[in-house]
């Protein structure tokens, strides 16, 4: 079932993504084109405090032209391990650090067209730090009881895949 790449054409190279078009040979011998977005690995964090509240972040997302309620997340910098990226992103987006970290899952966000891998972590033993967010981010931290997030998912208030996957996996792990 593997597709053999015959040719690759680089269309765009940017700061966050690259775009290429691969001409591939299908198992049947037919050829077709695949548009592929190359994106580095990312991390997402279900950060749970001692009172059972998860730290969600509210931020505007230009691609969908909406303000979304999400778990903290961000890219893994070159040369950085996914857990290091998760620690940095939690600090930048929420102003918290965590004593305990546990990997919940690794998954592809949109494997039909994108190479992005998402590393999902559960962070507990939270303690506040001085928040140092990125200059291009406008983020509101929204502590929310973990048990209430299922209703937020069902209502569509939480509507991005990484947050849904992370919250559901955390609830399963913690038997909430």
pLDDT digits (tens, 9 = 90+) for 128-147: 997 565 566 689 999 999 99
| 14 and 52 belong to one structural domain | no
Tens-place pLDDT, residues 86-116: 999 999 999 999 999 999 999 999 999 999 9
Domain carrying residue 105 = 42-174
Q: Tally the domains of the chain.
A: 2
| 65 and 152 belong to one structural domain | yes
Read off the CATH number of the domain in which 146 is found: 3.90.79.10
Mean of the per-residue pLDDT values of the chain: 95
Q: How far does the chain reach from its first CA to its final CA, in angstroms? A: 40
- Whole-angstrom Cα distance, residue 87 to residue 150? 25
What does the pLDDT read at residue 138? 87
């Amino acid at each position: 079932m593997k597709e053999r790449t015959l040719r690759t054409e680089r269309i765009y190279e940017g700061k966050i993504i690259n775009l290429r078009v691969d001409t591939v040979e299908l198992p049947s011998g037919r050829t077709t084109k695949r548009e592929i977005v190359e994106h580095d690995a990312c991390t997402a964090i279900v950060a749970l405090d001692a009172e059972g509240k998860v730290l969600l972040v509210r931020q505007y997302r230009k691609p969908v032209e909406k303000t979304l309620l999400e778990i903290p997340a961000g890219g893994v910098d070159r040369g950085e391990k996914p857990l290091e990226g998760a620690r940095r992103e939690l600090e930048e987006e929420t102003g918290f650090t965590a004593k305990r970290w546990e990997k919940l899952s690794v998954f592809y966000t949109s494997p039909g067209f994108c190479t992005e891998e998402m590393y999902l972590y559960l962070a507990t033993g939270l303690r506040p730090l001085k928040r140092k967010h990125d200059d291009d981010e406008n983020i509101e931290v929204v502590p929310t009881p973990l048990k209430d997030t299922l209703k937020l998912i069902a209502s569509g208030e939480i509507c991005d895949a990484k947050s849904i996957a992370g919250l559901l996996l955390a609830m399963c792990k913690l038997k909430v």
